[in-house]
Chains A and B, each alone.
Chain A
């Protein structure tokens, strides 16, 4: 295992290319460096948006003015939502771990189009900068991340840069999608047939298709909105003869599948981690693959469940409700398979395992409350209330966020050649997990009580739930800080390791050097076994 680092075996972190210093990173086409560029960018913007979230919760700790006025609050949930959705969870795991590990896990030296890959990071950064200009020119947008017409045409706030920035970010997403589809089709190592491919690449593949097919719809919608604001073309604005409900359809035709862009790769990462920490084959490999594809496919046809009260026709509504329940099934299948994977395993209780099992728990809460939203009678009552806020935080933050943290701890030694401090990592997880539940569980109750969302102020009857929730936010942010500080510190000063396979994994990334060399392999591996063949 401890191969001496000959001159050929320089890790990708140390490798010196055409450019030196920071240029060697931001101009590098190495998929691993691109992955880390995404990671660092996301870390910065996640922290920013998390602080906005905390400030909102502090405002809501008591009725009336607490720390900010309504204009600031409205701008904050908008910017918070835009950053979290378009900059963090949509690129999410594919941009970081997909870029880093997809080629390695299928035994390739890089993605199919390395330059396009770097370009997608640059487009991403440009998109972010355009979004951010809205802060400096004319005030933050205050429409909510959904930009619903016709308010988005009437508000004096500066929504154009935010819309245009989101439009640019879409291109970055499409390019990553194209790159991954081609990589998976063309670059698998000899012997790796489709059904010998590990599950994380599978989910990346399913996700990539959604990115390619759904993102153009939001692109067109956002562009039409820009045109409407600038030129007054009158597609969505009723004052100009347009139809605001059409806007909602177009918006959700993308944004619902986007939820699966966010969550599928997370499910893939969990499906990698559980077998390793159980030292056991994943239970129901094929069921997980097929259910991922089913989710990606059926996910296109359920967007209407965001619009049950919008004034759409009745028959369309129950079709959407029905399909929503159908799309719940593949997720349920996955949960059963994950839990069964632990049965008779030899469970190695380490930080990635804690994140993975708590992922299953919060994901179940997110999914089961989704059933309340999918059913017509109950949806009407809780739609656009805090119930929905709790539900989507459980799914996107609980689901995508927890799986991201699981993946980050799991692959950390491989990526940095150092180990994180396990005690701090576990403490951070425990604090974060308790904070998370205290923050979001009361919101379900508030929603059932009838407290609408996007609410700067509220009636006294909603005070109790909000106090608990706000205290939870403080606890959770404390946990997040422990985790981030620990990881950042460990990436520079953690215990050095060159152990190729610290957890005893069976997928290909555990056969390369730690950290991998520039081209990952001296010799492309030959795959003979199915993944997860534990003996």
Chain B
């Protein structure tokens, strides 16, 4: 079938083959019989119909045989599925946070990434945390999918990848405007490579070469955190106001129900990121943007600001 790279693939694909095999058999043979009847018994060839008596034996036969076959389908579907519901005790545990419209992955040592890095041949348990609405965590190559339900505790899924490489992660549950752009990647690495990545001391602090352009770093943060799903860079309004041409302007916001003017400066950007519902930009709705407190450091905000400023040039 299609590309498969986890321990579930065998069971699931067998169920597919079993069901589709029987399905094709019935589809083709019944269609062939119908076509034969149309050829053999059409009015020209067979002007007079012969009445046929109902046969209870026949009715019972074509009730019992399909019943047996579907019980087989049920069985293989069950067998292929039950391992998905039984995560092992031991394994790498990662929490996936989903928000409109991006995934982020948090490791036990505090490392956060927008791509899912995992070791090959190791059980990986994913805690599913939806921050706003329903999403679904779907990796076609691993044959897993599980809804991410806001407020549902202990919601998790697991897998064991069998081949290194990178595979798509989709959000499979409709979650609004940019649902089709809510995707990520799972990168399956050799085990030692993964652990090296995991313990990389530099990864925890933002790595800033002295000659790096802060605006370019800001641009990277904006895309890796998924801000551009809601904020355009070209002046158009999406779910939130555009980033273009606003920095340094005086804008109108609603604070506690009161309209007021504020300067769009570093202070304002920081407040917008840590406490988005404090000031609501005129013409937009509260509750759409969630706080990034603890996810974006003050240092990173400086780079974001540098980037916003650079948009004015």
A29 neighbours in B (Cβ, 8 Å): none
A279 neighbours in B (Cβ, 8 Å): 49
Q: How far is the CB of A315 from chain B (nearest CB, A)?
A: 10
A143 neighbours in B (Cβ, 8 Å): 174
Interface string of B108-152 (1 = CB under 8 A from A): 000000000000000000000000111010101101111101111
A454 and B138 alpha carbons, distance in the complex (Å): 14
Report A325-355 residues with CB < 8 Å from chain B CB: 325-326, 328-329, 332-333, 335-336, 339-340, 342-349
Check A448 against B48 for contact (C-beta < 8 Å): no
* B155 within 8 Å of A (CB atoms): yes
* B258 within 8 Å of A (CB atoms): no
Which of the candidate stretches B9-17, B190-198, B199-207, B292-300 sits at the interface with the other chain? B9-17
Known: A344-B46, A375-B74, A375-B76. A71 touches B66 (CB 8 A): no
Which of the candidate stretches A12-20, A193-201, A256-264, A280-288 sits at the interface with the other chain? A280-288
User: How many residues on A have C-beta within 8 angstroms of the other chain's C-beta atoms?
Assistant: 84
* A22 within 8 Å of B (CB atoms): no
Check A346 against B176 for contact (C-beta < 8 Å): no
Q: How far is the CB of A230 from chain B (nearest CB, A)?
A: 16
User: How many residues on B have C-beta within 8 angstroms of the other chain's C-beta atoms?
Assistant: 82
Residue of A239, A328, A347, A384 touching B46 (CB-CB under 8 A): A347
Check B50 against A154 for contact (C-beta < 8 Å): no
Residue of B43, B136, B146, B172 touching A346 (CB-CB under 8 A): B43
* B233 within 8 Å of A (CB atoms): no
A287 and B2 alpha carbons, distance in the complex (Å): 40
Check B134 against A456 for contact (C-beta < 8 Å): no
Interface string of B259-286 (1 = CB under 8 A from A): 0000000000000000000000000010
Chain A residue with minimal CB distance to B287? A154
A70 neighbours in B (Cβ, 8 Å): 177-178, 180
Q: How far is the CB of B226 from chain A (nearest CB, A)?
A: 15
* B92 within 8 Å of A (CB atoms): no
Check B179 against A310 for contact (C-beta < 8 Å): no
A322 neighbours in B (Cβ, 8 Å): 74
Residue of A329, A357, A372 touching B63 (CB-CB under 8 A): A329
* A1 within 8 Å of B (CB atoms): no
* A23 within 8 Å of B (CB atoms): no
Which of the candidate stretches B77-85, B212-220, B245-253 sits at the interface with the other chain? B77-85
A283 neighbours in B (Cβ, 8 Å): 52, 54
Q: How far is the CB of B136 from chain A (nearest CB, A)?
A: 6
Known: A368-B23, A448-B2, A458-B180. A377 touches B54 (CB 8 A): no
Known: A156-B285, A383-B145. A346 touches B49 (CB 8 A): yes
Q: How far is the CB of B182 from chain A (nearest CB, A)?
A: 9
Check A321 against B172 for contact (C-beta < 8 Å): no
Check A321 against B78 for contact (C-beta < 8 Å): yes
Check B73 against A325 for contact (C-beta < 8 Å): yes
A340 neighbours in B (Cβ, 8 Å): 52, 58
A284 and B79 alpha carbons, distance in the complex (Å): 36
Check A348 against B43 for contact (C-beta < 8 Å): yes
* A385 within 8 Å of B (CB atoms): yes
Residue of A345, A385, A535 touching B172 (CB-CB under 8 A): A385
Which of the candidate stretches A111-119, A359-367, A494-502, A513-521 sits at the interface with the other chain? A359-367
A154 and B135 alpha carbons, distance in the complex (Å): 14
* A318 within 8 Å of B (CB atoms): yes
Known: A344-B49, A360-B34. A459 touches B168 (CB 8 A): yes
Q: How far is the CB of B40 from chain A (nearest CB, A)?
A: 9
A457 neighbours in B (Cβ, 8 Å): 180-181
Check A280 against B51 for contact (C-beta < 8 Å): yes
B31 neighbours in A (Cβ, 8 Å): 361, 364
Which of the candidate stretches A34-42, A132-140, A144-152, A211-219 sits at the interface with the other chain? A144-152
A74 neighbours in B (Cβ, 8 Å): 174, 176-177, 179
B8 neighbours in A (Cβ, 8 Å): 377
B288 neighbours in A (Cβ, 8 Å): 154
B19 neighbours in A (Cβ, 8 Å): 371-372, 375, 378
Question: What are 10 pairs between A and B in contact, CB < 8 Å?
Answer: A74-B179, A244-B150, A332-B62, A339-B33, A364-B26, A371-B70, A375-B74, A384-B172, A456-B179, A459-B168
Q: With contacts A283-B52, A339-B30 known, what are 16 further pairs, Cβ within 8 A?
A: A142-B176, A148-B174, A245-B152, A284-B54, A309-B147, A311-B147, A321-B74, A332-B66, A339-B37, A345-B41, A347-B46, A360-B34, A377-B77, A378-B12, A450-B2, A535-B51
Q: 3 closest A-B pairs (Cβ-Cβ)? A: A375-B77, A450-B140, A377-B80
